[in-house]
């Protein structure tokens, strides 16, 4: 569950939070692609942010390989981020037109210190 406070409420009155997500449960299987589909404003982005560990649930937990995503710190959090990545819907907003294809594909390898320069080049080229 994820609640957000409502801004601009009446002074001295307790604001009723807006519930963006309620009672969601699903299992993602290794090696599969999963899409979250729903109407605009239905909580898809909020669910994705919680799964990625970018937003903490108001209540409930998010588990990945037996670990609660919201409690990961340091090396565990880095390992999680290396294994779970979003694919954004809008390619024009996701890809920087100033980057070459090589740079866009190799950037995560550099950020996560995967291989040396020669092995990254080979990996990006698929050789």
Residue with tokens 């565990």: 76
List, in sequence order, the alpha helices (H) in 17-127. Answer: 44-51, 74-83, 91-94, 101-111, 117-125
Q: What is the pLDDT of residues 77-103, one digit of tens each?
A: 888 888 887 777 776 777 788 888 899
Specify burial of residue 69 (Cβ count, 10 A radius: 0-12, 13-18, 19+): buried
Q: What is the pLDDT of residues 48-67, one digit of tens each?
A: 888 888 888 988 888 888 88
Residue 117 neighbours by CB under 8 Å, 6+ apart: none
Answer whether 52's CB lies under 8 Å from 45's CB: no
């Amino acid at each position: 569950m994820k609640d957000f406070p409502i801004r601009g409420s009446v002074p001295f009155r307790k604001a009723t939070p807006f519930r963006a997500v309620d009672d969601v449960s699903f299992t993602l299987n290794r090696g599969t692609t999963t899409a979250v589909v729903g109407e605009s404003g239905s909580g898809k982005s909020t669910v994705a942010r919680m799964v990625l560990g970018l937003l903490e649930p108001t209540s409930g937990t998010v588990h990945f390989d037996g670990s609660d995503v919201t409690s990961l710190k340091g090396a565990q959090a880095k390992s999680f981020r290396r294994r779970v990545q979003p694919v954004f819907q809008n390619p024009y907003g996701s890809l920087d037109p100033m980057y070459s294809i090589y740079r866009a594909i190799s950037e995560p390898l550099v950020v996560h210190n995967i291989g040396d320069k020669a092995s990254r080049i080979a990996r990006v080229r698929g050789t």
